[in-house]
């Protein structure tokens, strides 16, 4: 088995897939705790559906670089969904659900009407569940992914304490002179970038798993914000690596394998948490 693995690793596309997979897993785990606690667990699904919709529009328009449309549209939706907060007419989960299914339906319809490929259902399936496109990355896409990942991690580290303050107690933060709105905006933008990045890896439907599973697992065992954050980052990377290797060796679909590994990890962490007598809420 090791032999087969080493054999595969000789191919650049396998190495690219591993690098991109690890980076995306790292980024997506960072904001998990914040999103879970703000009751935005499903934001990943909502935004990735928007990204899916935007991508079909880009395909129909025959744009050479889809990202120039997908990224701004997703960022805009993230800002609208996350910063609307309490004051909006449509609150949290309802707004996310509406945007999510709306964009999904719209995108699928566009794909049907303006179909450019002969195998429509395979196209749709790969956008929804992640595709083998992670194994067909070009060096340009890999570089783009590295740049965006570095930006996301840097932004997260620089704003770490502010993200904590705004998540833990928005009223207090705002009242004592922190610009909570601006930092909610920062969170929204980071989330959007992560989602667009992660779509390649696991597809629109499974993306929430990548965002929330590591955070939920880490919260079972760890009890401070810092340790939960670090643990979920490490766990997410480990699960992504394991998932990628299994799918390469076993020929299983990449996205769902990674999510399955995450689910197993969650089970193990829950068990550890219970044995340690920790809190079993989340």
Partner 1 sequence: MALLTVQDLTLGYEGRTLVSHLNFSLEEGDYLCIVGENGSGKSTLMRTILGLQPPVSGQVLFREGLKSSHVGYLPQQTPIQRDFPASVEEIVRSGFQGRCGLRPFYDREEKAMARENMERMGVLDLRDRCYRELSGGQQQRVLLARALCAARKVLLLDEPVSGLDPKATGEMYDLLEGLNREGLALIMISHDIGAALTYASHILHLGQQVFFGTREAYQNSAVGRRFVEREGDSL
> What does the DSSP 8-state code read for residue 149?
H
The angle, 0 to 180 degrees and rounded to 10, between the axes of the packed helices 12-30 and 254-275 is 40
Q: Report, in Å, the least distance between residue 222 CB and partner 1.
A: 6
Give the separation between CA 149 and CA 169, rounded to whole angstroms: 28
Contacts of 104 (CB under 8 A, 6+ apart): 49, 52, 53, 204
State which residue, 199 or 228, has the beta carbon closest to partner 1: 228
Which positions touch partner 1 (CB under 8 A)?
Answer: 33, 37-39, 157-162, 164-165, 167-169, 171-178, 219, 222-228, 279, 281-282
State which residue, 8 or 159, has the beta carbon closest to partner 1: 159
State which residue, 11 or 168, has the beta carbon closest to partner 1: 168
State which residue, 87 or 140, has the beta carbon closest to partner 1: 87
Which run of H or E residues covers position 209?
Answer: helix 180-221
DSSP letters of 42-65? THHHHHHHHHHHHHHHHHHTT-S-
Cβ atoms 20, 200 nearer than 8 A? yes
Q: Report, in Å, the least distance between residue 176 CB and partner 1.
A: 4
State which residue, 109 or 157, has the beta carbon closest to partner 1: 157
Cβ atoms 126, 132 nearer than 8 A? yes
Q: Report, in Å, the least distance between residue 208 CB and partner 1.
A: 18
Q: Report, in Å, the least distance between residue 224 CB and partner 1.
A: 4
Q: Report, in Å, the least distance between residue 219 CB and partner 1.
A: 5
């Amino acid at each position: 088995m090791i032999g087969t693995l080493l054999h595969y690793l000789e191919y650049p596309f396998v190495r690219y897939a591993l690098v991109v997979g690890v980076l995306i897993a790292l980024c997506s785990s960072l904001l998990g705790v914040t999103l879970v606690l703000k009751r935005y667990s499903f934001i990943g699904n909502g935004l990735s559906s928007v990204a899916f919709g935007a991508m079909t529009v880009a395909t129909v328009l025959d744009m050479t670089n889809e990202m120039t449309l997908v990224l701004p549209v997703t960022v805009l939706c993230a800002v609208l969904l996350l910063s609307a907060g309490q004051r909006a007419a449509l609150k949290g989960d309802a707004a996310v659900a509406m945007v999510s299914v709306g964009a999904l339906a719209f995108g699928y319809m566009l794909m049907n009407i303006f179909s450019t490929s002969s195998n429509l259902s395979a196209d749709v399936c790969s956008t929804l569940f992640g595709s083998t496109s992670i194994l067909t990355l070009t060096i340009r896409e890999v570089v783009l992914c590295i740049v965006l990942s570095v930006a996301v991690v840097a932004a997260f580290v620089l704003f770490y304490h502010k993200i904590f303050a705004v998540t833990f107690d928005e009223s207090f933060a705002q009242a004592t002179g922190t610009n909570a709105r601006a930092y909610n905006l920062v969170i929204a933008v980071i989330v959007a970038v992560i989602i667009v990045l992660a779509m390649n890896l696991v597809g629109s439907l499974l993306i929430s798993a990548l965002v929330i599973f590591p955070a939920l697992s880490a919260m079972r065992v760890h009890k401070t914000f810092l340790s939960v954050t670090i643990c979920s980052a490490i766990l997410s990377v480990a699960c992504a690596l394991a998932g990628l290797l299994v799918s390469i060796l076993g020929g299983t679909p990449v996205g769902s394998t990674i999510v399955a590994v995450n689910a197993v990890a969650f089970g193990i962490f829950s068990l550890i948490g219970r044995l340690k007598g920790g809190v079993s809420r989340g």
